[in-house]
Amino acid sequence: MNGEKYDYLIVGAGLYGATFARQMKESGKKVLVIDKRPTIGGNVYTENVEGINVHKYGAHIFHTNNKKVWDFVNRFATFNRFTNSPVANFHGELYSLPFNMYTFNKMWGVVTPREAAAKIEEQRKAAGIKEPENLEEQAISLVGTDIYEKLIKGYTEKQWGRPCTELPSFIIKRLPVRFTFDNNYFNALYQGIPVGGYTKMVSNMLEGIEVKVNADYLKNKAEYDSMADHVVYTGPVDAYFGYKLGYLQYRSVRFEKEVLDIPNFQGNAAVNYTDSETPWTRIIEHKWFEFGKDENGKDIQKTVISREYSSEWKPGDEPYYPVNDKKNSDLYQEYRKLADQENGVIFGGRLGEYKYYDMDKVIEEALKISSECIATGC
């Protein structure tokens, strides 16, 4: 540890931390960013394997309707035209995701939107659901029984480790259902992948800012706190308080990466395995995020795939998704009360706020809070 004094110590070099750091640097503040991992970028970290930018912690496709956020990230990267069009594999039957006319045609042989809507309505009525009370009922209300059984049930139960009848209905409300042939999963004005990977983008965001990796804030909290007037903490909020109110729960994700000596494994960036028997939830083939080309625009002859497994989180595992059920939401509110009493500390990001954030939303929030700090001094 050096004896230098900083205006802001930012714990975590992910998107929230990097955005906040950039804003403070440009407002003339002295900033130190630290991260427990040996890398920057948080869960958007990409590593180059065989000329392919591999999304180490799972697929990340940037999408937003916020022009301010889009302009901000484009300062640090050039984005390609990648469009998220995942495919569902049910025992070798391939279906389009999001659910659209391609899906309905393959499932039922219907050709027109009217026929597809009539089929869904028929199945909805047969199920007798008035007000959906859980994910299963919500899904059947949206797309009918056949699509629920083949394309939603097995995948969702693997992902969350719970029966669909025990999951809240709101989880499935984000799912796109279209009576068109639009294969774009997201309804966003702006979408793409940063050319050269997310690590390069975050590195550009942190240019000119002091960064220390392999730095464990909580192990040396008193020393780090003494180095700065303000702390921005993006780690797990329960860990900050020594888990004294108990552990918040997460879903965790495990990846099995494989380099294959073939140019094309599945022909798409993401294929979801929606049956309950296949142990993985999906396979990512990373080269298709950048159209199978290397940085010089040449075809890459090998490929890298990641099989993704969802699992229950336990202390020591990498936390990914908050489990936003009543028990955990109530516990978070108790931690939030403690956080609000911490002078000079801002809790931000997915782990600091125990909140599911898309990438654009976490940047939007970091821009908002940092702007308030610049205006008022936090």
308 has catalytic annotation? yes
Q: Catalytic residue among 47, 229, 334, 358, which?
A: 358
Q: Catalytic residue among 137, 178, 198, 250, which?
A: 178
Q: Strand pairing partners for 251?
A: 312, 321
81 has catalytic annotation? no
Alpha-carbon distance of 255 to 30, in angstroms, equals: 37
251 has catalytic annotation? yes
Tokens found for residue 28: 């003339």
Q: Catalytic residue among 137, 155, 157, 282, which?
A: 282
254 has catalytic annotation? no
Number of H helices, E strands in the chain: 12, 16
In this structure, are residues 106 and 93 in contact, taking their beta carbons and an 8 Å threshold? yes
Q: Catalytic residue among 238, 308, 353, 360, which?
A: 308
Taking phi over 0 as left and psi of -120 to 50 as alpha, with beta for the rest, 237 belongs to: alpha
273 has catalytic annotation? no
CA distances from 347 to 43, 211, 231 (A): 18, 19, 9
The angle that helices 15-26 and 359-376 make with each other, rounded to 10 degrees, is: 30
Find, among 175, 204, 225, the residue nearest to 40 by Cα.
204
282 has catalytic annotation? yes
Q: Catalytic residue among 6, 250, 251, 273, which?
A: 251
Which secondary-structure segment (H or E) carries 96? strand 93-96
In this structure, are residues 16 and 23 in contact, taking their beta carbons and an 8 Å threshold? no
162 has catalytic annotation? no
In this structure, are residues 167 and 135 in contact, taking their beta carbons and an 8 Å threshold? yes
Q: Catalytic residue among 174, 261, 277, 340, which?
A: 174
- Active-site annotation, residues: 174, 178, 251, 282, 308, 356, 358
